[in-house]
Chains A and B, each alone.
Chain A
Amino acid sequence: MIVELGHFALVLALLVAVFQMVVPAWGAYVRDRELMATAEPAALCQLGLLLVAFLSLINAHVTSDFSVANVVANSHSTKPLIYRIAGVWGNHEGSMVLWVLILALFGGAVAAFGRNLPPSLKANVLAVQASIAVAFCLFILLTSNPFLRVDPPPADGNGLNPILQDPALAFHPPFLYTGYVGFSIAYSFAIAALIEGRLDPAWARWVRPWTLLAWMCLTIGIAMGSWWAYYELGWGGWWFWDPVENASFMPWLAGTALLHSSLVMEKRDALKVWTILLAIVTFSLSLMGTFLVRSGVLTSVHAFAVDPRRGVFILAIMTMFTGGGLALYAWRARDLRQGGLFAPISREGALVLNNILLTTACATVLIGTLYPLLLEALTGAKISVGPPYFNMTFGPLMVPLLLALPFGPLLAWKRGDLLGAAQRLMLAGLLAVVVLAMALAGLRRGPILAPFGLALGVFVMVGAVSDLAYRARLGSVPLEEAWRRLKGQPRSAFGSALAHFGAGLLVVGVVATSAYREELILVMQPGEETKIAGYTLAFRGVAPATGPNYRETVGLFDVSRGGEAVTRLEPSKRIYDVPPQPTTEAGIHAAWRGDLYVVLGDAQTGGGFAVRIFFNPLVRCIWIGALLMFFAGAISLSDRRLRVGAPGRARRLLNAAPAE
């Protein structure tokens, strides 16, 4: 019964979305305030209905209702509660429901908090949001309905792929989708601006915080996926340039560019037309991410929906929103006037460089990901585009970006002083050179370019700190005065410095772990010892164990360093009950200088076990860097000036502004 309720709510949500797509937009066209105002309750109603649909699906999974096909296919009665809930979005149908729910959440947020938006802009924005909802609700109901029953119901379900049964992966999709779908706000605002033929000043103030929120969630979502791959897939890699990873990375790159260009637009009223284009492109890449993963067009670890009918449907959606958006842009963008003059050497100029490099990097990933598909479709020739291609093309683009990054925040708007900025970066440059010299002298192995990469990361990190120090006039005013000035800085200044610091840290982690990883592959007999990166590992043998829904063989490794016990690592080989799949669980000891990473292999015919041991230096910096970027976004978002969408602030604005 509850399942039917959810099904019905989804159909109703579709109908409400159709209404919301047509009536407010028509109202904006004929300038009828009553019709425009219908967008607001419609958006909230749509949100409520989708919430009912989603909760009823969660209920079916939690109560293990095996009369529902979706539950049968993806759940099992012995599955722990958290994975029964996470299993809702761990499958194609359920994840699509989550997708539209998040879309409706963002639409509802615009409806609820957007009281200070001009009515016609708001009506158009919500109408565009609704058109996306219509497309995806139709997609769910016609090709991927999670509410269908099976008759007769089986006694139990098929279970969730055990490698997906993991806390990081449980929350990976919601963050990723919030990121993808969050860019829909930027898209809807862009389309609304093009429809109206003018850019309201509210535009940039609205688009930036929502883009920031989406970007934060996408950052943490991608980081979680990478973290999961690192410890779960058992070979210690953290990024594979897999098409599905690229699918989420492309919107991130474009979104990062959008974040920076909307900054120029907000502060300087420049790059407006470009920002609109970037907003369309970013959301289109999010749609493409959904398409690539959901259509099964790629064959890769994550793509679990393999059904061409769905692929064609999503391709149609993508063509409509990307093609339609770009066509509208080509038609109307000329009507939007460019503004804001600036010299090439200026904060704006630096952000233009940022956008040039980020969009090129994004295009490179796009080309590398789609090229084999297009080539096969056009000529039938099958080629592979793997990590070496991306490392050779994407890598070099990051070098000038990172070199220029610390200069950007130190340049003034309109006309900057490059020499002055360089002087303020003396310390950063000096420390980078010291790191370079130490790495060149101390690390006698690894690629010759690696020390330069480390130095670049340090340059970015110290450069970010220098930015704050300069803002506080540290060194030229007394310490208390500098502290007072630092405290007086807007939170967005801390946000950008922290995000840039995180980016530098990430670079250091990436370079260190890629270039200086140590590895041992050997057969170990119980009682045997081996050494890696200063650690001594003593293999004590294996022991059987059972978990809630799996059995495992646990290897026992006592780790010591310089004669002192450090930890005991227990890597294991698991067999899940349903479905009966084997997985490996790595034993990981995390320390500041790096991770000790042990994987237990098969029992050997001659006795003993195959063991693979890695030392991944500074690998944590990668995720800590991403985490810092996430928090940096949160700090910026908490800046009062950005919270134009908050209700309290909106009311104050409304009171302050004379009635129109």
Chain B
Amino acid sequence: MTPLPHSHLWLAALLGAMLASGPALAVEPDEILPDAALEARARAISSGLRCLVCQNQSIDDSNAPLARDLRLLVRERLKAGDSDQAVMRFVEDRYGEFVLLRPELNAHTVVLWLAPLLVLIGAITVGIRALARRASQTAGSPSLTTVEEEKLRALLAEKDAAGD
């Protein structure tokens, strides 16, 4: 088989990635490190790294050739004695922040990480204030006309009759 021109290879990789279920298995048997502890670390690291030619997949889940290259790279670095953080940094230095599925806390992402907490605090504040307001109110007058009141009473009576 004659080698594909480079651009076609890229296209093939993209296509394979889009399919998400090519014939391959993502992690292939020949990639697996004999040292089980090291392999477990490699798997944990690769599930946190994004496959760059895929659509939202980690390299651990992807069949794309580039993902395989990255998996092999991660394992090489681990064999060379790098710590998990060092491997992550090594990959990030080469491929950019985009490769990290768990965004780092930095100026770009501080809003991202703080937002859920702020929303929660906001929601609790609104909830407590509403509860407090309700508790302090003496009587709530429903905004119904007399006719509607009558109808509502009839409905409720019917509901009670149905056995609530």
Residues in chain A within 8 A of chain B (CB atoms): 163, 198-201, 232-235, 237, 240, 242-243, 269-270, 274, 298-301, 303, 336-344, 349, 352-353, 355-356, 359-360, 363-364, 367-368, 371, 375, 379, 381-389, 392-393, 397, 488, 490, 521-523, 573, 581-584, 599, 601-602, 604, 610-612, 640-641, 656-657, 660
A300 with B56: in contact, given A367-B116, A602-B24 (CB under 8 Å)? yes
A599→B25 contact, CB < 8 A: yes
Residue B109 lies at the interface, judged by CB distance under 8 Å to chain A: yes
A389 proximity list for chain B (CB < 8 A): 101-103, 112
Q: Among residues 9 to 46 in chain B, which have CB atoms less than 8 Å away from a CB atom of chain A? A: 18-30, 32
- Which residues of the partner chain B approach A352 to less than 8 Å between Cβ atoms? 127, 130-131
| Nearest 6 CB-CB pairings of A with B | A386-B101, A388-B102, A601-B25, A337-B143, A364-B116, A382-B98
Q: Contact mask B111-151 → A, CB, 8 Å, 1/0?
A: 11001100110011001001100110101111110011001
Can you list 19 contacts pairing A with B, beta carbon distance less than 8 Å?
Answer: A201-B144, A269-B142, A299-B56, A300-B55, A340-B134, A343-B135, A382-B98, A384-B101, A384-B103, A386-B101, A386-B102, A388-B48, A389-B112, A582-B23, A584-B21, A601-B24, A601-B28, A657-B151, A660-B147
- A51 CB to closest chain B CB (Å) equals 34
- Is B102 a contact of A337 with CB atoms below 8 Å? no
Residues of B within 8 A of A383 (CB): 97-98, 100, 103, 108-109
Tally of chain B residues near chain A (CB < 8 A): 61
Asked if B163 contacts A488 (CB within 8 A), the reply is yes
Contact B55 A301 (CB under 8 A): yes
Choice from A381, A392, A397 contacting B108 with Cβ under 8 Å: A381
Do residues A337 and B142 form an inter-chain contact, with CB atoms below 8 A?
yes
Inter-chain contact B142/A339, CB cutoff 8 Å:
yes
Q: What chain A residues lie within 8 Å of B24 (beta carbons)?
A: 601-602, 610
**Beta-carbon contact of B112 and A368 below 8 Å:** yes
Q: Is B50 an interface residue (CB 8 A)?
A: yes
B96 contacts chain A at the CB level, 8 A cutoff: yes
Q: How far is the CB of B116 from chain A (nearest CB, A)?
A: 4
Q: Given contacts A367-B115, A386-B102, are A490 and B162 in contact (CB under 8 A)? A: yes
Q: Which chain A residue lies CB-closest to B138?
A: A341
- Indicate whether A344 sits within 8 Å of B32 (C-beta atoms), given known contacts A364-B119, A382-B96, A383-B100: no
Which residues from B are CB-within-8-Å of A657? 151, 154
Instruction: Kindly provide the distance from the CB of A510 to the nearest chain B CB, expressed in whole angstroms.
Output: 17
B74 at the interface (CB under 8 A from A): no
Q: A201-B151, A237-B61, A383-B100 given as contacts; is B108 within 8 A of A363 (CB)? A: no
Contacts of B86 in A (CB 8 A): none
Closest to B106 in A: A383
Contact A641 B112 (CB under 8 A): no
B23 touches A385 (CB 8 A): no
12 more contacts with CB within 8 A, not counting A360-B123, A602-B25, are A234-B25, A343-B135, A360-B119, A364-B115, A371-B109, A381-B97, A384-B101, A384-B103, A389-B103, A523-B29, A601-B28, A657-B154
Q: Which residues of B contact A (CB under 8 A)?
A: 18-30, 32, 48, 50, 55-58, 61, 96-103, 108-109, 111-112, 115-116, 119-120, 123-124, 127, 130-131, 134-135, 137, 139-144, 147-148, 151-152, 154-155, 159, 162-164
Interface centre among B32, B58, B120 (most CB of A within 10 A): B120
How far in angstroms is the closest Cβ of chain B from A297?
Answer: 13
**When the two chains form the complex, which single residue of A490, A599, A610 contacts B29, counting CB atoms closer than 8 Å?**
A610
Cα A388 to Cα B20 with chains together (Å): 20
Give every chain A residue within 8 A of B124 (Cβ-Cβ).
356
Chain B residues with Cβ below 8 Å from A298 are: 56
Among A198, A240, A368, A379, contact of B56 (Cβ-Cβ < 8 Å): A240
Q: How far is the CB of B21 from chain A (nearest CB, A)?
A: 5
Contact of A356 among B22, B48, B56, B123 (CB under 8 A): B123
Chain B residues near A599: list those with CB within 8 A.
25
Nearest residue, chain B, Cβ from A237? B61
Q: Considering the chains assembled together, what is the distance between the CA atoms of A583 and B112 in angstroms?
A: 37
The answer to whether residues A583 and B32 also contact, given A397-B120, A657-B151 and a CB cut-off of 8 A, is no
CA distance A363 to B120 in the complex (A): 9
Query: B20, B23, B141, B142: which has the most chain A beta carbons within 10 Å?
Result: B23
Hey, which chain B residues are within 8 Å of A387, CB to CB?
58, 101
Interface centre among A344, A349, A382, A386 (most CB of B within 10 A): A386
**Could you tell me the distance in whole angstroms from the C-beta of A119 to the nearest C-beta in chain B?**
15
**Interchain CA distance A299-B54 in the complex, whole Å:** 9
Is there an interface contact between A384 and B99, defined as CB atoms closer than 8 Å? yes
Residues of A near B19 (CB, < 8 A) are 163, 581-583
State how many angstroms separate the Cβ of A554 from the closest Cβ of chain B: 13
Once the chains are docked, how many angstroms separate the CA of A612 from the CA of B24? 10
Check if A490 sits within 8 Å of B164, measured CB to CB: yes
CA distance A582 to B22 in the complex (A): 6
Residue of B nearest to A524 (CB): B29
Cα separation A602 to B154 with both chains bound (whole Å): 71
A359 interface neighbour in B100, B103, B123, Cβ under 8 Å = B123
Q: Considering only CB atoms, which chain B residue lies closest to A270 in the complex?
A: B134
